Chains A and B, each alone.
Chain A
């Protein structure tokens, strides 16, 4: 035994975990999630391929019918695709969290004198990498097809950041589902059932005016619509309108409801 495993613990025996340790543990767990992406890059398939596939499909199938031409449809569509891609990327948070927690390594995390919240918080931070990739690819695809946002590059970056922040807020819903459901498959299934109406019953792909009255009401209350409109305002006209603030308020409500719920369930399980 060369390294002399001493009988006395090298750790301070005090049982208190402060803010600094919580942050340090969270960053370590975020680093772990990054390493996992590095070793299994195939988990990025959704954020790499979905924006490419959906942009192409929607542009060429609906462009002519909805806006008369592809060029006219792109300013409407790209913000819609961006929101859809990024919200479905946030779904993966819940699925991967569930998968992770089923593995033996989680038992070790639970037995370490570390901040209980770190595995959850770390995973949510690293998801920004996924959202960043999804956002960049969506805008790049739009650019390739001829989308030229009138407000310019800085507004596009600002809109991208708003989308990423919103995805992070929405990911708390799916993280919560990940906590309360038993298997990764069931998380995937239920999340998808939430995701489909949430993104399609919005103004993401089709102008609201073409829908029947009851649907217009639903669409107007859907936070996804406000996010889409806010992004359109920013990228197309360089404006921060009421939808921007409504989006922030809506996202804040989601985080205020689901973050404490998730943390509570997580702490009880961990």
Chain B
């Protein structure tokens, strides 16, 4: 038996996880290695297998093949030990709609073994911390989406688990509430927790994660730090619409020769040029002007999940 103080090294180690629903391979051989004390992002479109992966790691679902360890404990052979090391915040509010915020937290705390008074104190603390004190005795049916997510997150922190799963923590939230969630998640990791989060937004993974696994069709298609991933796909890109579509191939050649940029056609008359820095945009335009290539429209774009997938898998998300 390990001492709980020695929870270092790898928080998650998964090899070859497979899960098939009828004839749909939701997860098709996923490997993950997550260092303790980091935020790890799983990035992918709807249906890529993100939630299924989390469900298997969180003991909610048995895989058809593969193995996984949480802090060295086998997820499928020692599920009860693993459950005492994790907190799960699901994509759909895993709190009780009919009860008040306080009642929800007290019940989870009691189930985790806290005494009646300790459970009440813990609930009050967490509600305060997540700015929900005023709504404490309101039934959840009257909560906004953001409040519900915050309560959900609070419920995952009752036992102060060393590993927390967050399944799409900000999907469906407005930008302001999303920023609050991000701040909360960053605070959590400062105190030493490891976080595995899934997201559909490159921006979110970039903001929060130390490492990102991009998954598609149940497979990891890329795994790296956000910076390296962005370098591989270009940080930003310049969309150029040409006046004369016959000049497109010339324009692409010019960018390759003078600037080393590999641009590609995205329509008959439009080119997408990935940039290292926004400064390069000026160079591109100057070079095109020097060749007398006329432009009708330009647009500086941040890479989207779509482009990540286009670059990594060769097909749209």
Contacts and interface: CB of A to CB of B under 8 A. Distances in A.
B233 interface: no
A10 B93 CA distance: 24
Given A8-B4, A25-B111, A17 B160 contact: no
Interface of A: 1-17, 21, 24-25, 28-29, 31-32, 35-36, 39-40, 103-105, 107-114, 118
A17 B125 CA distance: 28
User: Of residues A8, A16, A113, A118, which shows the largest number of chain B Cβ atoms within 10 Å of its Cβ?
Assistant: A113
B37 interface: yes
A105 to B, nearest CB: 5
Contact of B111 (A2, A4, A16, A112): A112
A17 B59 CA distance: 16
28 contacts: A1-B187, A1-B188, A1-B190, A4-B191, A7-B37, A7-B160, A7-B193, A8-B160, A9-B85, A9-B159, A13-B2, A13-B85, A15-B79, A15-B80, A16-B80, A28-B107, A36-B98, A39-B139, A40-B98, A104-B90, A104-B93, A104-B94, A105-B94, A107-B60, A111-B58, A111-B86, A113-B84, A114-B112
Contacts of B128: 2
A248 to B, nearest CB: 34
A9 B129 contact: no
Contact of A39 (B59, B99, B159): B99
Interface of B: 1-2, 4-5, 7, 37, 58-60, 78-81, 83-88, 90, 92-100, 103, 107-108, 110-113, 125-126, 128-129, 139, 155, 157, 159-162, 187-188, 190-193
Contacts of B99: 32, 35-36, 39
B86 A5 contact: no
A229 B94 CA distance: 46
- 6 closest residue pairs by CB, A with B: A7-B192, A15-B81, A15-B80, A108-B94, A113-B83, A113-B84
Contacts of A114: 111-112
A110 B96 CA distance: 14
Contacts of A28: 107, 110-111
A2 B128 CA distance: 9
Contact of B98 (A2, A3, A5, A39): A39
Given A105-B93, A107-B60, 12 more contacts: A1-B129, A1-B188, A3-B126, A5-B160, A7-B191, A8-B162, A9-B7, A11-B161, A13-B2, A39-B98, A105-B96, A118-B111
Contacts, number: 135
A71 B100 CA distance: 48
Contact of A21 (B2, B113, B187, B193): B113
Contacts of B85: 9, 13
Contacts of A12: 84
Contacts of B78: 15
Contacts of B155: 108
B195 to A, nearest CB: 11
B58 to A, nearest CB: 5
Nearest to A6: B160
Nearest to B157: A5
A25 B114 CA distance: 11
Contacts of A5: 157, 160, 188, 191, 193
A107 B94 contact: yes
A112 B90 contact: no
A36 B98 CA distance: 6
A30 B281 CA distance: 65
Nearest to B155: A108
Contacts of A111: 58-60, 83, 86-88
Contacts of B98: 35-36, 39-40
User: Of residues A31, A107, A108, which shows the largest number of chain B Cβ atoms within 10 Å of its Cβ?
Assistant: A108
User: Of residues B7, B58, B107, which shows the largest number of chain A Cβ atoms within 10 Å of its Cβ?
Assistant: B107
Contacts of B103: 32, 35
Contacts of B188: 1, 5
User: Of residues A7, A14, A32, which shows the largest number of chain B Cβ atoms within 10 Å of its Cβ?
Assistant: A7
A39 B99 CA distance: 7
B161 to A, nearest CB: 5
